[in-house]
Structure 1
Amino acid sequence: MSSQPVGTDGPLVPMPQLTPEALRRAVAQIAPSRLPEFNDHLVSATTSAQRTSSVGSLRAFTDHWGTLVNIYRWPERATRFLACENLAADPDSDPEAAAASEVGRILRTAGEEIGTRAVSGAGSTTRMRNTSWGGVVVRVTWAG
């Protein structure tokens, strides 16, 4: 893990390297209930990489879980993210679109902080895709 400071106002854990084992250790510490999902996703990404002879699925895996770890390691951001996720997933909620937009903003910010391929702004070559985070479908912009 990196040598970033960890304190009461800071992150719960330092940001780990974007490797499956380092991310697994971080998930076990800050979001242990998500370990089965992590393991299933890793198996799926590895199988896809073998089938396609491409590391793209493994890169997507580390981007996804690195972003998630970077959200969950900051308690205030994690609380806001989870609240917006729950609100956006509720079909009876009036501010559903605003919550989904906030989930997307948090994902983009956390991804940019760790150097994933999430981008925003004019002049960049991008592609859009919908991704599901905790049952919420969010449109995320990625570098092409």
Structure 2
Amino acid sequence: MTTRPGPHEAELIARPGRTPDALRMALAQVAPHRLAEMERQKNEAIALSVESGSIEPLRGFLAAWAVHVEIARDLGTAARLRSAEHAAQTLDRDDPLWREATAEIRAIFDEARAAVGG
């Protein structure tokens, strides 16, 4: 799809800690339009944790948003994701470029997950 910039070439902010407050503050800087989505998912995770008696929904919430922030805080990575998502949404599924785009999306999320340790 696109060439990959070097690591940390265009980071907007440092990697935040994996706490709700740290992730929210980071998201406010790199993708403020997603704050309502994050808040809604946090509330769902809390409700699921209470209902199930497990903290796993909260851990999943924190892990997912750490990945989203990791992607958004790097301009090159965010651009790669936007480009791949656009291709995946507009190309025919039989087009080899569609498969390439979906592989790129998976790779971006896998890279971000590895970068944040989870």
Say whether the fold is shared (TM-score over 0.5).
Answer: yes
Q: What is the rounded CA distance, in whole Å, between the counterparts of 2:50 and 2:114 in structure 1?
A: 28
TM-score by length of 2: 0.85
Partner SS for 2:17: coil
Q: What is the rounded CA distance, in whole Å, between the counterparts of 1:56 and 1:82 in structure 2?
A: 30
Alignment gaps of 5+ in structure 1: 1-7, 117-144
Which position in structure 2 is the counterpart of 1:81? 81
Which position in structure 1 is the counterpart of 2:18? 18
For this pair of structures, how many residues does the alignment match? Answer: 109
Query: How far off its partner does 1:9 sit?
Result: 3.3
Q: What is the rounded CA distance, in whole Å, between the counterparts of 2:17 and 2:23 in structure 1?
A: 7
Q: Which amino acid aligns with 1:114?
A: V
Q: Which amino acid aligns with 1:50?
A: V
Q: Which amino acid aligns with 1:66?
A: A
Which position in structure 1 is the counterpart of 2:32? 32
More helix by share: 2
Alignment gaps of 5+ in structure 2: 1-7
Q: What is the rounded CA distance, in whole Å, between the counterparts of 1:91 and 1:49 in structure 2?
A: 39
Q: What is the rounded CA distance, in whole Å, between the counterparts of 2:39 and 2:15 in structure 1?
A: 19
Report matched runs for 1:20-99 at 5 Å: 20-90=20-90, 92=92, 94=95, 95-99=97-101
Q: What is the rounded CA distance, in whole Å, between the counterparts of 1:111 and 1:40 in structure 2?
A: 22
Partner SS for 2:54: coil
For residues 94-119 of structure 1, the C-alpha deviation after alignment (integer angstroms, 9 at most, x for no partner) is 32221111111110111101101xxx
Task: Confirm or deny that 1:109 pairs with 2:111.
Answer: yes
More strand by share: 1
Which position in structure 2 is the counterpart of 1:133? none
Partner SS for 2:84: helix
TM-score by length of 1: 0.71
Aligned-residue CA RMSD in angstroms?
A: 1.6
* Segments ≥4 residues shifted beyond 4 Å: none
Query: How far off its partner does 1:89 sit?
Result: 2.4
Q: Which amino acid aligns with 1:46?
A: I
Q: Which amino acid aligns with 1:112?
A: A
